[in-house]
Structure 1
Amino acid sequence: MALDTSSKIATPDRHPPRQPESAAVDPLLRAGDGGRATRFNTIPEIVDLDRYPLHQPGSEAVDALLREGRATLEHDALFSLPGFVRPEAASFMAAEIEARVPVACRHGTDRASYDSDGKSWPAGHPRTVKHLFRYHQVLNHQIPNNSPLRRLYCWEPLREFLRQLMGYETFYRSECPHLALSAKVAGDGDTDGWHFDGNDVVFSVVLKEPEQGGLFEYVPNLRTDKDENYDAVAAVFDGNRDGMRSVKLSVGDLNVFQGDYTLHRVSPVKGDRKRVVGLFCYDRVPGTNFGEPYIEELRRYLPGAAPTRNS
């Protein structure tokens, strides 16, 4: 099911003035008072364009960012643009997301680090070891169309920059009503356990940092297409930190992470201040939606749903 952006807004003017093409508004941003939030209505208010002039593709500054990003991802799996989002805008977005926690999904289960491959593995094998995943998740349809976070997600120069960074011929914003745009909110004791991603890349922006904990820990390229390297994975589960990188991602950082071959987690958050991260979903195929089995799982975590085991 794709987002329906075709609804017409009733107006007393039968022939409203045509909007100049240069002032056209992305349909995903049309909502409420002309699609405008109370603050941070424009990209210059949200993004540090002096430092990251993505609106000037082909410029020396953007080409340098692309070269740096490609080289970094090749050996490190994580490329960050520090301070991409202005602190005031990040704070506004974080408050907007936190206000939606009462209606958000509440994850609180132990699960394996791998997607199922349909095989039966012996107890104790890395594929059977489970880790705690606990946090709130605000879904796409719970984030207002006039949110500055959505405005950033729908900003065309960002999509094009990320496409070029990844070297994709095509690159589309997801149309999933649940997960095209989402956010994670982690409070005291919340964590993302050790895992590999089922997709090849994740794009995120940090909106709020916790007092302590919430570190992004990862072992770059621990496995390959030809070698799952289960012994090394088991060693990480047992506490071995050889080759592990522990990063404190800061407010405003835009992060590109290749987690399909890189084992990673977010360490438990400590303290009253929450960790808030926005997540942007793109795909090389237009009209992308997430599979219904996964969406059904998300629905079970919504307030009022039947309780699940370990929740």
Structure 2
Amino acid sequence: MSTSNTTNRITVVGAGYMGGGMAVSFALGGHHVSLADATPELAAAGRDRLLNEAVSFVERGLYPADAADILAERISSAKAVANAVSESTYIAEVVSERIDIKSGVLVSVANAAPDDAIIATNTSAIPIRELEVHVRKPERFLGVHWMNPAQFVPGVEIIAGTYTKDEVVSRATELISGIGKVPVKVPDTPGFIANRLQYALHKESSRLVEEGLISADELDAVVSNSFGFRLAFFGPMAIADMAGLDVYADTYRSLHGELGEAFAPPKYLQELVSEGKLGVKHGGGLTRLSKANSEAVASYRNAAYSSLSRLKAEVGSAPSEA
């Protein structure tokens, strides 16, 4: 895991599974972390769980060899949230995904934190504009949405609120990047980006299962071994550019005819194709991929897919009751 050149005083409010993973990421990234919760007992129990887990994870090769010692040194449990945040430069609020709970915690945190401390809420879908009203000096407040399990998944969404200063967005992005994560600034739109896409896929998947077209296990096998396999290296827009936007447009037309307006060809796609922009093979597309770097991209793709195939064979299938 990467180590930041600048040490921050970080408080994670919420010592559960997500908050714990974030605390581990910050600590292994070089920062001192105070883990806080509703009671000192919960905070202490959360820290103990992380340290015990670290020993097992080191033995299994999931953490660096010295991780258990690093976490024991850098993660402390707080006796009270107010005391912990009063000396922090960055505060991550990671409590339950309910506005009534988050609002109360944010009020307390904002009142106790230094005026220049960043306050970041971890939320999967609650609009930042609905939470910022509970924060004193909301210009230092933003959303920083991690993915579970936080210590292993690299993606983090950075969501500015109505009043968030650009400097705060930059500081938060630099901090998250500095510990080896991949922060991306996204808009304060319902579900942000990751969950809007994830739930769109889940909705269509559920429809296929409900209609009796396929079982849940069979559907998961299709996804994880086809386009889901590729998504580890390329997003959907790059995949379309590589496949050919004309191919996508034709496929959409077929789906549109059978499944209706939900599968109508996107307007941008039709416009690009009409202009002769077909992706990598001709004219470019939506991403930075082009014919000029197509050979390098293909070489990278082949090596990446081959490596992932070997990794899947090595790791094997997820445990099941079967």
TM-score by length of 1: 0.22
Larger radius of gyration: 2
Which structure has more strand as a fraction of its residues?
Answer: 1
Larger relative contact order, structure 1 or 2 (CA cutoff 8 Å, min sep 6):
1
